[in-house]
Chains A and B, each alone.
Chain A
Amino acid sequence: MRIQQVKDNKIQYLDLLQFADPNEEALEKKLDTMDLFLLKEDGVIKTICAVRFRKNRKCEILSIVTMEEARGCGYGKYMVHYICEHYSDRCDELYVGIGNCRKLLGFFEKCGFSNSHILAGYFLKKYKEPVYDDGIPLTDMVYFKKRLEAEIDIKKVVDVALEAGRILLKNGGEIFRVEETMTRICNRFHIDQVDIFTLSHAIFVTAKSGEEEVYTKVKNVPLSGTHLGIVAEVNSLSRAISAGRMSLEEAQKRLKEIDKIEPIHPGVQIIGAGFASGCLGYLLGATARESVVAFFIGCILYCWVLLARRYHMSKIISNIAGGVIITGLALAAREVPWLAPVQLNGMIIGALMPLVPGMAFVNSIREIADSDFLSGTVRMIDTLLVFVYIAIGVGLTLSIYHTLGGIVG
């Protein structure tokens, strides 16, 4: 569902508008001075609405039509809601004049309009032929009005956008997704001038609305674990916001809920790491027997990874120790008589895979492809260093074992 404003060639929509106002000439005259909005779903026009400015910060809905087959789906209400927000920064009151038809009166009352005034006998005077709606001849023009809410606070909007950005970046969202989401949220609430600069661990945002009000904020986002479920949640939230299905307060509340989503249960993650080790070990050339051993080594390894994460150990320690654990366990497994014959290579390669920084690797490539070299190189170096740490851990253990006289390979 999208609403767009028609800037030129308005005349082609004239016959759609005529449905609400059969007086073609009068409409055509107003055509240049009015704003025309189309609500489209899947490229099909559902609702069309014409609005005109009046004096003293007032505006008027000249005509609003929903296509016959699309009525009763809430498109009209959505359109009125949008119009209210769109004009809220330029106008204080929105008027609409309608015939004395019960259906329409009910509709606008539901949208929050209240009675303003009545032009008695308007339809009798203006139109030569009698006008009917639902079989009732129209006589009077009833004017409804609605007070438009004051402008949305720029600080609040930016805070919500920044919070969404922070959650995305923290949980492994890409730079461009962070920027896109924040821009979307700001634009939706009518802050059109936003500048966002995102690094791999910080967000800078400056927003300006209308007059001289400028608001800047910097947020530090420490690197932490990946949770793609949260990224997906924020993504769908941002879709809902930009489609207009969510107000600022709702968005704020939802963001707080999303931030509290727990990662998948540690036990399940450990089993998952085991399966990752076993399966990938098999793919990379281990025998079935070695894959089973790799499964168990992977499980034990991930216990260590989770432990290291809980105590915020540095990547150097956790990865080198991870490499040592894998190699040590694989060497030990070789000595167990009823497991034989197993080879070191298959087991180690399999068990290594959960340590491989796939997320950082893929994200760094994508950011470099997006020409965001700064964040891309930072993440690329992160990836490379993790690879190096793992290699150090494995190499260290192997060489010690080798020096002690053990046979490697």
Chain B
Amino acid sequence: MIVELIANGVCAFAGAVAFAVLFSVPRHFYIGCGITGAAGWCVYLILEEYAGLSAAIASFCGTLVVVLLSRMLTVRMKCPITIFLVSGVIPMVPGAGIYYTTYYLVMNQLGMAASKGLEAVKVSFGIVLGIAIVLSIPRDVFQKGYWKQLKYHRKKKNILN
């Protein structure tokens, strides 16, 4: 299991970097893209394969991780969030679902086609929700100064009390 996980992680890293190349991302962001991609996919894999959750929930959680990581990296490297977001999310985009839907349609197995198609839709909604939720967290939370200030205020309160 661990070997498989590592192999998947490496592949997700390489895949995310490859997509970064396709979108002409500057070179010094490659590592960040790879890390978001690998982390998101590992979470997805663990939840889907080993914990036995449905693909939709797994992709939701995977997306959560991807968006969180990309928001942190964005603040750190001062660049648009899209750079990390797109290459991180892409492994979870239901490309396989589309293929299987078409495949079963061609084979005239309409029941299977419908179930595969619905699953692809569900996975998409998982991704949509994941992105929407994390993006609605205010920007300040990801700034370095925010937590320092919070700590400082807490200390001040304690002293006053």
Contacts and interface: CB of A to CB of B under 8 A. Distances in A.
Given A280-B91, A353-B90, A362 B26 contact: no
B118 interface: no
A362 B106 contact: no
Interface string A213-239: 000000000000011111110011001
A172 B82 contact: yes
A275 B96 contact: no
B80 interface: yes
B26 to A, nearest CB: 5
Contacts of B95: 280, 284, 349, 352-353, 356
Contacts of B136: 369
Interface string B11-23: 1101101111111
Interface in A376-406: 387, 390-391, 394-395, 398-399, 402
Q: Per DSSP, are chain A's interface residues mostly helix, strand or loop, or mixed?
A: helix
B20 to A, nearest CB: 8
Contact of B127 (A227, A353, A365): A365
Interface string A349-386: 10011101011011101101100000000000000000
A409 interface: yes
Contacts of A43: 145, 149
A173 interface: yes
Contact of A273 (B7, B18, B87, B124): B18
Given A272-B21, A279-B12, A395 B105 contact: yes
Interface residues of A, number: 59
A398 B101 CA distance: 12
A229 B102 contact: no
A352 B98 contact: yes
Which 6 A-B pairs have CB atoms at the shortest separation, nearest pair first?
A: A272-B21, A279-B15, A275-B18, A276-B18, A369-B132, A358-B90
Interface of B: 7-8, 11-12, 14-15, 17-26, 29, 41, 78-80, 82-83, 85-87, 89-91, 93, 95-96, 98-103, 105-107, 124, 127-128, 131-132, 135-136, 145, 149
15 contacts: A172-B23, A173-B82, A174-B80, A177-B80, A231-B83, A235-B79, A271-B21, A352-B98, A353-B15, A353-B95, A358-B89, A358-B93, A362-B82, A369-B135, A394-B102
